[in-house]
Amino acid sequence: MSADARTSPGPGHAPDGSPLAIAMSPVFAGMDPTAAMRGSILAAAPGARIVGVSAEGLADEPLDDVEVLLRGWSLGGEQLDRLVGRAPKLRWIHSVSVGVESVLTPCVRLRELAITNGRGVYDQPIAEYVMTMILAICRRLPQLLELGRERTWQPLEAVELSEITIGLVGLGGIGCQVAKLAAPFGPRVVAVRRRPNVSAASGVEVLGGIEALPELLARSDFVVLALPLTSATETIIDENALRHAKRGSWLINVARGGLVDERALSRALNDQLLGGAVLDTFREEPLADNSPFYRLPNCIVTPHTSWSSSAVVPRTLEVFCENLRLYRAGEPLKHVVDPEAGY
């Protein structure tokens, strides 16, 4: 299939260019499609039949005429392959997540299906999470809360954000939004990115490609992982990388757990080679209750929640429905994933 065919899989086979049927799995964990969601989708694709799919990949109706799949977070690669195998007319998968490592399965690649993702949907809440954590750490909030619980009156010296350097590993939508939110506080912001020659966000010094990661680690007080998980970025933060980290710096991972060698990070935190870590994502989720990260005093663990906000579901539907309208018109879809690049 040509690149044009992958970006323009429509129009659909219904009389007005709508897909004959749209399969839809739970958009987010524990959230089944609501009547309002279905109504928005049918408004964008009149006449389409919506087929509910469980998190296990089981459909409540036949999949023979399904042309489009709206894939929620909980539909894993194995379940996705089973579903794709039962949907011979499937042409396009929209993943509500930005990371698509579990979507690029052997079956999906073999079928050369068009894949789009939720690029841009989560930039704001994740950037706000990052800034919340940086501010909390600089203002010594965890220690102040502990002192309050102990009824100990002990002022602590804080660090102003104008004194720190934030290092962005990845400068896509999330990285650029972090830089934008940080700018009024006056920190230095440096970054590495896959294409270092592409113009960067205002106020960001791009150090180079991923080969400049050691320099970024050595200069940064806060290192923010905001890049996709691909074969090129798997375990990018390993024991060797951590040796270059600035003493007392913090690692913030809001991307994917597979970017980090968790054993090496645990040792670095335990030995206080780093000031600490904020971890919102892990290789295995939910994080096991016996994980050492729970016990480390210089580690803040959150349950993969940095993306969450009340605006996420409406924004997700807006992105998908806009693409449905493009699909009906036979025009190129937005936020198309490059299977070779992995994002």
> In sequence order, which residues have a C-beta less than 8 Å from that of residue 32 and are 6 or more positions away?
26, 52
Active site residue ranges: 256, 285, 304
Q: Do the beta carbons of residue 248 and residue 270 sit within 8 Å?
A: no
Q: What angle do CA 33, 38, 44 make, to 5 degrees?
A: 140
Q: Which two tokens stand for residue 238?
A: 């390993």
Rounded to 10°, the helix 123-138/141-149 angle is 60
> Considering Cα of 328, then 333, then 339, then 343, what sign does the dihedral take?
negative
CB contact at 8 A, 101 and 220: no
Q: Would you state the structure tokens that stand for residue 309, as one six-digit string?
A: 């906000």
Strands in 92-95's sheet, in edge-to-edge order, are 49-52, 21-24, 66-71, 92-95, 114-116
Task: Identify the helix (H) or strand (E) that includes residue 126.
Answer: helix 123-138
- Give the Cα separation of 290 and 73 in Å (integer): 25
